[in-house]
Amino acid sequence: MQLIEQVAATIRRHDLAHAGTRVVVALSGGPDSVALTYLCRALHDAGVFILAGVAHLNHQLRDGAAADAAFAADVARSLQLPFESGAVDVAALAAARGLSIETAAHDARYAFLRDAARTLNADRVALGHTLDDQAETVLLRLIRGAGSRGLAGMHPRHGLFIRPLLDVRRQQLLDFLAEQGLTWREDPSNADRSIPRNRVRADLLPLLARDFNPRIAHVLGQQAELFREEWDWLEKSAEVLVSSAVHGHSPEI
């Protein structure tokens, strides 16, 4: 199955978008988001959905941030797409609110993307999380301790936000970029081994793949899906029980 068909299949399987759905791509400039942008352009051309534009937030956390923003603008221009950009002093935001840099960056990014979706009259925002990101998330939560809700990992859709690449390996995207002759921006923080996710990515997942199961990323992705189904069932069952208690009838679960 070609990559574009694989992504389209994920969109159909999880009901992420339809022919009339307007989608904005969150473009950081990294390889995953660049590949997502070009794949979404191809999906737009194929009539899977309407690509409404591209959005990029400058977190002002490193020297190359302005160059990342300029790169994202160039990508949008090359694809003739509307471009929404913003800038937030994340370090100052974190200090003012007593948050970690990671939490402040997350909050700022999602607030900006919601605003960008409104500006571009979009129904969805596409994020570039891959199967590898999902595997890393599940492992991190397992190590720290989590139940069904946590081990469900990242959902294919969460409100406005969709993840069309959640069944795709990161290497597939790198291969796609190489085949298309496309460039991207590298985030130096990805090499920071003090960040737990980076150690899981660089050390733990390769070890598990080498010594235990070469398809460990797929296994963890499948486990996340099972836990999502379990959590959905628990939530629906709880709703039935609450309703039965309020209305005084026997529940059917």
**What does the pLDDT profile of the chain (253 residues) look like in tens digits?**
599 999 999 999 999 999 999 999 999 999 999 999 999 999 999 999 999 999 999 999 988 899 999 999 999 999 999 999 999 999 999 999 999 998 999 999 999 999 999 999 999 999 999 999 999 999 999 999 988 889 999 999 999 999 999 999 999 999 999 999 999 998 888 888 888 999 999 999 999 999 999 999 999 999 999 999 887 787 777 777 777 666 666 555 5
65-78 and 31-45 are packed helices; what angle lies between their axes, rounded to 10 degrees?
20
Cα–Cα nearest to 160, from 2, 23, 60: 23
Is the four-CA dihedral 40, 45, 48, 52 of positive or negative sign? positive
Predicted pLDDT of residue 212: 97
170-180 and 131-144 are packed helices; what angle lies between their axes, rounded to 10 degrees?
150
Cβ neighbour number for residue 172 with a 10 Å cutoff: 18
Q: Is 80 left (phi over 0), alpha (psi -120 to 50) or beta?
A: left
Predicted pLDDT of residue 198: 92
Predicted pLDDT of residue 37: 98
Q: Count CA within 13 A, CB hemisphere, residue 54.
A: 30
According to DSSP, the residues that pair with 87 across neighbouring strands are: 58
Predicted pLDDT of residue 251: 56
Distance separating alpha carbons of residues 139 and 205, to the nearest angstrom: 9
Predicted pLDDT of residue 233: 82
How far is Cα of residue 115 from the mean position of the Cα atoms in its chain? 18
Write 37-44 long-range contacts (CB < 8 A, 24+).
Answer: 37/75, 37/76, 37/79, 38/79, 38/176, 38/180, 38/182, 39/3, 39/4, 39/7, 39/164, 39/165, 39/176, 40/126, 40/164, 41/79, 41/81, 42/4, 43/4, 43/7, 43/8, 43/11, 43/164
- Asked if 51 contacts 40 with a C-beta cutoff of 8 angstroms, the reply is yes
Q: What pTM did the predictor assign?
A: 0.91
Predicted pLDDT of residue 192: 84
Residue 79 corresponds to which tokens in the numbers above? Answer: 């694809």
